Structure 1
Amino acid sequence: MTTVLLADDHAAIRAGVRMILETAPRPVEVVEEAGTAERALELARRLHPDVVLLDIRMPGVSGLSVIGALRRTGAAVIMLTSFAWDEYVLAALEAGADGFLVKSAAPHEIVDAVHRVVSGDAVLSPEVLRAVIDRAVARPPSPAALEDGPPPERSRAAAEAAPGEPPELPAEALTRREEDVLRLLAEGHSNQQIAHRLVVAESTVKTHVSHVLTKLGVASRVQAALWWGRHGRGT
């Protein structure tokens, strides 16, 4: 069974999402809850959940600050938040988040998002992904600029989570097929859709995506899409 860690500073939100996940037709096990980003990171390192549902604004360190470290535990990260502004979407995705959901999402959308990231897909509509890529090309944001007022003092855990900027050139040249997969990925297609377009098995697409992420030095398919938007389009 897929396992999830819930991280939100509102207990009522955590209780509601837990009920949605655990009573779904394809139930998901909520292994633990956290009220702060630092606690979420501590629990993720100990429990190794498949997915972390993470709020952006939390007491002390923001959710944005720990995305990279959460990804390094092996978990996929979905931002679950009240804020749907482009700046927050872009900052979260650049930091390595696998998707973005507003808290007003329908229950089935939340459950579907969890299963999709576990299977290797991103949780972002093609329209939103294209808008985010265009925004990234025009004006890369600074996550620190999204905080309310002066940023809080960063803990060691938060500091080590800060994402690095991927290089303009991949460490190893992409093959023609990998470029095809990356282009379709950046257009917002799922692995299944890419497989259909290229007339290959979905497992083959997953292998290509894995190679692309490694060569680009990024942690998620959304980061790869952002790289393509900045460095690959039109080349």
Structure 2
Amino acid sequence: MTTVLICDHHRLFAEAFASALRAVGADVRVAADPAEALAAQAAEPADRVLMSVRFPGEAGRAAIREIQLTWPQTHVACLGADDPAAEEAVVLSKKRPLTELVDAVLRGTGAPETPAAPAVPRAPLRTARVDGQTLAARFLTDRERDVLRLLVGAQPTGQIADELGISITTTRGYVQSILSKLGVHSRVQAVSYAVRHSVVS
């Protein structure tokens, strides 16, 4: 089983990514910051470490370098670092669909399109996608799917409202409707459900 440690400054994205990886059989831990990630890695080294470099200062980059030096067998990737300065590790852009990121992590590469044998079976993910599309088509409106897609992208309420051209109050109403229809009680649970069942693309 592939073990993964995720440390991203967007907690909602980190939890969604973790859920997507767990859905295909990976053992995943989530750290809130680089210090917590280093402690978790020291306690139980992971096969893959996914680290954001957007934490204050150079904490993320410093953690990447320490992990590479101390645990050379661990594959380390920068999360969401689109700038050329992130040269110390492979880059996984958060602009890619989560399904592609999952494939890249399991392969241990930053190029989702590179053909390689998966580290764990991916059949559950394909099955979930079909079920999720059916669920979305049956219960969620187009606008609710738009809102859910932005939630999966870790967008806060204000940014969702701006992007969709609606008020914050209306956005909150859509969020509550999504929670009700999916049978969950929080945004994190909604995002996890959406990722596991591929409700949005």
Whether 1:103 and 2:94 are equivalent positions in the alignment is yes
Structure 2 match to 1:86 = 84
Q: CA RMSD in A?
A: 2.5
Structure 2 match to 1:66 = 63
Report the Cα offset of residue 61 of structure 1: 4.3
Structure 2 match to 1:112 = 103
Q: 2:112 and 2:103 mapped to 1: Cα distance? A: 13
> In structure 2, which of residues 38, 41, 45 is the aligned counterpart of residue 44 of structure 1?
41
Q: Partner of 1:49: helix, strand, or coil?
A: coil
Structure 2 match to 1:29 = 27
Contact 2:15 2:30 in 1 (8 A): no
Report the Cα offset of residue 68 of structure 1: 2.3
- Structure 2, unaligned stretches of length 5 or more? 118-201
Work out which structure has the larger RCO, using CA pairs closer than 8 Å and 6 or more positions apart in sequence.
2
Distance 1:86 1:125, change over 3 A: farther
Whether 1:55 and 2:37 are equivalent positions in the alignment is no
Q: 1:51 and 1:65 mapped to 2: Cα distance? A: 17
Report the Cα offset of residue 5 of structure 1: 0.6
Structure 2 match to 1:8 = 8
Contact 2:48 2:105 in 1 (8 A): yes
Q: 1:100 and 1:114 mapped to 2: Cα distance? A: 11
Q: Give 1:48's aligned amino acid.
A: P
Contact 1:8 1:14 in 2 (8 A): yes
Q: 1:110 and 1:125 mapped to 2: Cα distance? A: 7
Distance 1:45 1:15, change over 3 A: same
Note the alpha carbon deviations across 1:153-190, whole angstroms, 9 max, x for none. Answer: xxxxxxxxxxxxxxxxxxxxxxxxxxxxxxxxxxxx88
TM-score normalised according to structure 1 size: 0.44
Note the alpha carbon deviations across 1:68-123, whole angstroms, 9 max, x for none. Answer: 22122232101111x412223x3x3xxxx2x2111121122211111222xxxx42
- Structure 1, unaligned stretches of length 5 or more? 127-188, 193-235
Contact 2:77 2:92 in 1 (8 A): yes
Counting matched residue pairs gives: 115
Q: 1:191 and 1:2 mapped to 2: Cα distance? A: 15
Q: 1:12 and 1:115 mapped to 2: Cα distance? A: 21
Q: Give 1:123's aligned amino acid.
A: G
TM-score normalised according to structure 2 size: 0.50
Q: 1:17 and 1:191 mapped to 2: Cα distance? A: 21
Whether 1:123 and 2:123 are equivalent positions in the alignment is no
Contact 2:7 2:30 in 1 (8 A): yes
Report the Cα offset of residue 59 of structure 1: 3.6
Q: Provide runs of 4+ in structure 1 moved above 6 Å.
A: 189-192
Report the Cα offset of residue 40 of structure 1: 0.8
Contact 2:3 2:46 in 1 (8 A): yes
Q: 2:56 and 2:40 mapped to 1: Cα distance? A: 17
Q: Partner of 2:85: helix, strand, or coil?
A: helix
Structure 2 match to 1:201 = none
